[in-house]
Chain A
Amino acid sequence: MSIDWHLYEATDVYDELIAPGGRARKGGAGLKKALAKLDDAELSERRTAAELAIRSMGITFTVYSGDESSTIDREWPFDIVPRLILKSEWEQISKGLKQRVKALNMFINDVYHEQEILKDEVLPRVYIDKSKDFRIECMGITPPHEAWSHVCGSDLVRDGDGTMYVLEDNLRVPSGVSYMLENREVMKRVFPELFSDYVIHPVDDYPAQLARCLRSLNPNATRSPQLAVLTPGIYNSAYFEHAYLANAMAAELVEGRDLEVGDDDYLYMRTIQGLVRVDVLYRRIDDTFIDPEVFNPDSVLGVPGLMRAWRAGKVALANAPGCGVADDKVIYTYVPDIIRYYLSEEPILPNVPSYRCVEKDHRDYVLDNLDQLVVKPANESGGYGMLVGPKASRRERNQFARQIRANPRNYMAQPMLNLSTAPTLIDTHAEPRHLDLRPFILTGEHQYVTTGGLTRVAMRKGSIVVNSSQGGGSKDTWVVDG
């Protein structure tokens, strides 16, 4: 027995590999055939090989279960069937992402300077004034290249008609890129023969590109800036990634206690020889924890005085503090306007149609149609705190309606998208599973977009929740010549 594509049923949905009628989409025939050639035993063997590779490479993510001592390191759930994207389509998407992030960076810079966009009433001032990610401490600061969000992870989803939408932009401390890189490594170990059938564009220059981006932010006149990656520590769910990137960039992996800000406002790390200056800090800690002197005074993760050093222009922080002001699901609804305002261009990538609960007509619509909408809080990530209307109970919907009425600024709603699927190996046959895509966009002196990105897949049948913290897995993403 092997995969019988006649039994593959992806109806009423856009499938990334199989077109209606059962034929492979452009570029997909080779993969479809190669998979059908493997019998059950071989399929299981490959899957086991992938699991073993992941286990011994130590690719893990951390699941919280209460206190720190009981966190569990889980092996990264991985599906061995890759997801294909044609190069021609990817080039277009990549252009759209650069445009989007460029405009968002201009927006953040404007918010912390003249606030032209508010004066011109393109965006109501209330959204900034009431934003919990607006940082008054950032007013008047101009980071190198006027870039604020140096590493952005935007989530893309494809709807039933095949259109690729931007679902959200993660501008603060997006994670997942190391899994994108590791997925490719695993695939090379497990399916080496497929690589000879396809022209698959490599992903592995990301760490070098990230290092180049970070170096371009160097505020000090040193030829070779000292880079460091600031991690909250080994109990953080993305610790694996922090270590991976530091390693790949030959940057120091540091925790708050390795750092101190001197009386001269420079940032230093504690070494066996004494203090050594850090020029660029890629921080993987939220704003509110980076400096107990300015933000959360109880934070032990950050470095007292870090904001002072940054404001004095003596250390670069990536991403810059305060950039979360644009990473807000209500601001998101304005991104097409933001692109038009700063670039005088039409957006290349569309937004998912969205309703702002703060506007009365939108809110009335949302409250009347809760059973058909997905409602999201403005400032949560990881899929937490949202309502999936069609799947929720009446009680949950009523409770959400109360929350929306009480704090409309904090919510936006979108129609429930019919997320595209791709064949996923379940036991020894292929079944459609919903997925999304997170590419990463770098902004420093130059812009760079990953080749493809991290494809996350909801492993449970019918589920559209792809977060690894909630039962999601991932696939290697291949950008291929058509």
Chain B
Amino acid sequence: MVDRTLSSTAYRAYWLGRYLERAGSTARLVSVNASLLIDLPVRLPLGWSPLVDILALEEEFMALYGELAQSDNSNLDENEKGVSRFLLSDQRNSGSLLNSLGYARENARTLRGTLPRASYEHINDAFLFAKEILQEPLSRTRRNNGLKHIIARLDQINGFLSSTMLHNASWHFFRLGNFLERADMTTRIIDLGTANLVASESDLEPFADIQWRSVLSSLDSMQSYTVSMQNPVNQPDVLEFLLKHDELPRSLLRCFNTIRHCLRSLPKNQEPLDLINQMRRQLQRARVRNLEGERLHRYTDARQKQLLTLHTKITNAYFPQT
């Protein structure tokens, strides 16, 4: 049976998956930070700028919010407003949540022939909802509440697609996009887990665990952690859990496994499949429990670079003209 999926359709399904996941991740990331800052003592020089660094958007942020970025966090309130606007609703930031959802919607629109009819309605509704709820000026309460609802809607869309869409090639491309983006974001969220803390300051020690608890609960994974690890929250276990626990839907290993599964269901998969197999073997062998500080950062950074290479290989194999 010849697979008639158009290269351009595959391309759009892939990007729909990426943008939907990116929108959800951005929402989660901002939520993590918000709850983190509630839990941590006010006097700590923590803020919102690490979010921008983690997403590698420093340049864009500087260009748009230069003054804020240079301030010494003395005005935390302004800092929070600026970063959250930049990440959530700013049209000028191509990676903002609203833009990601907008691109997802455009892709869904061009995929009308492929997706179940109601998918566009759901995605369109989610976009319109997010646009409405994220309007400036945005209070903390409305933001946190809004993000919760946006995340719920995106989860529903994923569930809807999973239970109604034909699990054909387009579906595999959608999932490829989904899980590539998710893998990338899991490594970035791990970065966030350590970013705010200055390791040398010993009086911050008691708060390190709070930080990881916050990360876990924002990933809706606190309960899963307790069940799986049977241990109080601590960095080595959390790293093991988020990177290598196959039963956790957002763990890096699980993302790799899903990507591998998708690629194996597609034709002409040699190059990207070789790479993901290699990435997977490396991850399984890696000792991640004891990664700390700069070494941990270098480790996550290297994963992100590998994912970029994987993206290029997928593009070359299936949608070279785009």
Residue of A nearest to B110 (CB): A234
A255 to B321, CA, bound (A): 13
Residue A181 at the chain B interface, CB threshold 8 Å: no
A242-277 contacts to B, CB under 8 A, are: 243-244, 246-247, 251-255, 257-258, 269-273, 276
Q: Which of B2, B8, B125 has the most CB of A within 10 A?
A: B8
Residue ID in chain B nearest A234 by CB atoms: B110
B49 at the interface (CB under 8 A from A): no
B15 to chain A, nearest CB (A): 14
Q: For residue A246, which residue of chain B has the nearest CB?
A: B113
A463 → B minimal CB distance (Å): 31
Q: Which residue of A has the minimal Cβ distance to B120?
A: A58
A-contact 0/1 string along B110-129, CB 8 Å cutoff:
10110001001100110010
B266 lies within 8 A of chain A by Cβ: yes
Q: Which of A47-64 contact B (CB under 8 A)?
A: 55-58
- B106 & A276 in contact (Cβ 8 Å cutoff): no
Whether A270 contacts B6 by the Cβ 8 Å rule is: yes
Q: Say how far A58's CB is from chain B's closest CB, in angstroms.
A: 5
Q: Which of B8, B10, B121, B321 is A58 in contact with, Cβ under 8 Å? A: B121
**B109 with A272: CB separation less than 8 A:** no
Q: Is the CB of A253 within 8 A of B4?
A: no
Mark interface residues in A352-385 (1 if CB within 8 Å of B CB, else 0).
Answer: 0000000000000000000000000000000000
Expressed in whole angstroms, the minimum distance between the Cβ of A61 and any Cβ of chain B is 13
Q: Provide the residues of chain B in CB contact with A244, threshold 8 Å.
A: 112
Interface size on A, residues (CB 8 A): 23
**Is B121 a contact of A57 with CB atoms below 8 Å?**
yes
Q: A234-B110, A273-B3 are in contact. Are A258 and B120 (CB under 8 A)?
A: no
Contact status A270-B321, CB under 8 Å: yes
**Contact between chains at B7 and A252 (CB < 8 Å):** no
In the complex, chain A residues 207-223 whose Cβ is within 8 Å of any chain B Cβ? none
Asked if B130 is at the interface of the complex by the 8 Å CB criterion, the answer is no
**B120 touching A271 by the CB < 8 A rule?**
no
- B3-A56 in contact (CB<8A): no
Contacts of A55 in B (CB 8 A): 128
B109 contacts A58, C-beta separation under 8 Å: yes
Q: What is the bound-complex CA distance between A243 and B109, given in angstroms?
A: 8
Name which residue of chain A comes closest to B11, CB basis. Answer: A272
Residues from chain B with a CB closer than 8 A to the CB of A2 are none
Shortest beta-carbon distance, B256 to chain A, in Å? 22
Q: Is B97's CB within 8 Å of the partner chain A?
A: no
In the bound complex, residues from chain A placing their C-beta under 8 Å from that of B267 are 272-273
The minimal Cβ–Cβ distance linking A419 to chain B, given in whole angstroms, is: 34
* A243 B112 Cβ-Cβ under 8 A: yes
Q: Could you write out 17 A-B pairs with CB less than 8 Å apart?
A: A56-B125, A57-B121, A58-B121, A243-B113, A246-B112, A247-B113, A247-B117, A252-B113, A258-B6, A270-B8, A270-B321, A272-B3, A272-B6, A272-B267, A272-B268, A273-B2, A273-B3
* Residue positions of A touching B, CB distance < 8 A: 55-58, 226, 234, 243-244, 246-247, 251-255, 257-258, 269-273, 276
| 11 more A-B residue pairs beyond the given contacts A243-B110, A271-B4, with a C-beta to C-beta distance below 8 A | A58-B121, A244-B112, A253-B112, A254-B8, A271-B3, A272-B3, A272-B266, A272-B318, A273-B5, A273-B267, A276-B2
6 closest A-B pairs (Cβ-Cβ)?
A243-B112, A253-B113, A246-B113, A247-B113, A273-B3, A272-B318
B: residues with CB less than 8 A from A are 2-10, 106, 109-110, 112-113, 117, 120-121, 124-125, 128, 169, 266-268, 318-319, 321
